[in-house]
């Protein structure tokens, strides 16, 4: 089958392209501003890419058009597809019907930590010899690819289960198409203000997700999250295991031990020795251990495997060290994620100064919905350098005013880089946070510091 993917350079749609190609389909695609790194990865797979959405692409005459959620009405190619009555489907529906059907799907949902937890879970299954397939919204360093099909005899597939809407013609969350046997509910906060009016609307989508888990399946839920308890109280037809609470999966720290014990209730399985920072990653690990156990992996084996887990690119990724100044890259773009990322680095860095460099780039941030929470989320940093332009629609400097002199705002990236260079001194930890490319600021900082 020949499929043509609209919006192919996004992480999710690019992953679908890789999976379709590996399954033997002919795959082509288009996007606005075909861009690396996904464009280079796809071209290396022999997937032809076209710049833009010109209606002339209709001449490719694929068997099926797969539509990403970046495409809206008015798109020239989409309008031609509709006018001609050609077959089209969303990306989530395609993967649900052509890759996930009849597989043991392990889906990881939540406002934060989906990518890291999915990567952990895929690695735990891989280390146990289960050869899972996966589609993850980042590149796990243990695999160096964001998507692959399962091994020939493996039923397992790990997928990052996003609550964002499916397509312009399907406003349900993507994850309702995945039908997992193992569902992880990491956490739940308000996000995606461009499509959800409030937290209650997101909770409804999570309720729909819970409805798709079979009675023979299992839900692994964060026991600290009131919003998730509300979701489960609306109806749950599957066994539930909690993590993050003493009655469920938790870490126990004894004064005479140098590492925390992984426990389920009163039963402990072993000590967790690893390099990842922050309580949020500990919760991610507990969720992954519990989900892997449902798939047949002993917790003791998972604990040992986590010692070799290498995290995900752009999740507290050390981009370089110059003159004893470290520059990290992190995907944090929600106030809670920003706060936990800074707290994790603080725990590792001790008294070293943390210089936070932030681009509030997500759709929710651009709408200003979270601006009041930004100062509190950045309070753990010693200095804050924020980048924003007038196109944001709200004043970044005013929002960060509660931080006083330790925060500075910039509309020119080169000026920001020079300000960081002037402020930085030996031993500092520079933490760059954005869910976009941020104009290549990481390398610009390293070059300036050199």
CATH 3.90.190.20, the chain: domain bounds: 317-449
CATH 3.40.50.720, the chain: domain bounds: 2-90
CA angle 140, 252, 289 (to 5 degrees): 35
CATH of 317-449, one of 3.90.1580.10, 3.90.190.20, 3.90.1150.10, 3.40.50.2300: 3.90.190.20
pLDDT at 325: 92
- Tell me how far apart the alpha carbons of residues 371 and 174 are, in angstroms, rounded to a whole number: 27
pLDDT at 142: 86
What backbone phi and psi angles, to 5 degrees, belong to 16?
A: -60, -40
Architecture of domain 102-306: 3-Layer(aba) Sandwich (3.40)
pLDDT at 255: 67
pLDDT at 37: 67
Upstream peptide bond of 207 is cis (omega within 30 degrees of 0): no
Tokens of residue 418, six digits:
């020079």
**Residue 59 DSSP one-character state:** G
Q: Can you name the residues that pair with 6 across neighbouring β-strands? A: 30, 67
pLDDT at 365: 66
pLDDT at 394: 79
- Tell me how far apart the alpha carbons of residues 21 and 425 are, in angstroms, rounded to a whole number: 48
* Mean pLDDT of successive 10-residue stretches along the chain, which has 450 residues: 94 93 95 76 87 96 96 97 98 97 96 91 97 90 89 96 94 96 94 84 96 98 96 97 96 78 95 82 95 98 93 77 90 80 85 91 69 87 87 81 90 92 93 82 90
CATH 3.40.50.970 describes domain 2-90: no
Helices (H), 152-298: 199-211, 226-233, 279-294
- Tell me how far apart the alpha carbons of residues 44 and 164 are, in angstroms, rounded to a whole number: 29
């Amino acid at each position: 089958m020949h499929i043509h993917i609209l919006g192919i350079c996004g992480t999710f749609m690019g992953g679908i392209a890789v999976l379709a190609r590996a399954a033997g389909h002919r795959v082509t695609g288009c996007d606005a501003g075909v861009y690396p790194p996904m464009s280079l990865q796809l071209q290396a797979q022999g997937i032809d890419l076209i710049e833009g959405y010109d209606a002339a692409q209709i001449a490719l005459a694929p068997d099926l058009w797969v539509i990403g959620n970046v495409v809206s009405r008015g798109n020239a190619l989409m309008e031609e597809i509709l006018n001609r009555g050609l077959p089209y489907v969303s990306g989530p529906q395609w993967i649900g019907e052509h890759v996930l059907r009849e597989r043991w799907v392990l889906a990881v949902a939540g406002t934060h930590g989906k990518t890291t937890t999915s990567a952990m879970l895929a690695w735990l299954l891989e280390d146990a010899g289960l050869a899972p397939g996966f589609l993850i919204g980042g590149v796990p360093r243990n695999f160096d690819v964001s998507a692959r099909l399962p091994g020939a005899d493996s039923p397992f597939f790990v997928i990052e289960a996003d609550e964002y809407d499916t397509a312009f013609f399907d406003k349900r969350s993507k994850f309702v198409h995945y039908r997992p046997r193992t569902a992880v509910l990491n956490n739940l906060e308000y996000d995606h203000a461009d499509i959800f009016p409030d937290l209650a609307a997101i909770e409804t989508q999570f309720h729909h997700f819970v409805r798709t888990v079979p009675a023979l399946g299992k839900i692994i839920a964060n026991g600290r999250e009131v919003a998730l308890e509300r979701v489960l109280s609306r109806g749950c037809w599957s066994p539930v295991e909690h993590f993050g609470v003493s009655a469920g999966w938790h870490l126990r720290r004894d004064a005479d031990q140098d590492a925390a014990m992984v426990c389920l209730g009163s039963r402990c399985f072993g000590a967790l020795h690893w390099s990842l920072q922050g309580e949020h990653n500990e919760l991610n690990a507990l969720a992954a251990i519990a989900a892997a156990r449902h798939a047949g992996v002993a917790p003791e084996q998972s604990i040992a495997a986590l010692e070799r887990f290498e995290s995900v690119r752009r999740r507290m990724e050390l981009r370089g060290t110059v003159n004893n100044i470290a520059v990290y890259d992190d995907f944090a773009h929600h106030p809670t994620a920003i706060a936990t990322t800074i707290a994790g680095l603080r725990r590792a860095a001790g008294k070293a100064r943390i210089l936070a460099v932030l681009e509030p780039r997500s759709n929710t941030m651009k709408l200003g919905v979270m601006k009041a929470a930004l100062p509190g989320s950045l309070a753990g940093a010693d200095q804050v350098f924020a980048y924003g332009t007038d196109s944001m629609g709200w004043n970044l400097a005013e929002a960060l005013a509660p931080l006083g002199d330790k925060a500075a705002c910039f509309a020119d990236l080169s000026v920001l880089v020079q300000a960081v260079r002037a402020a930085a001194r030996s031993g500092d930890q520079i933490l760059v946070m954005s869910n976009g490319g941020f104009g290549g600021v990481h390398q610009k900082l390293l070059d300036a510091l050199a």
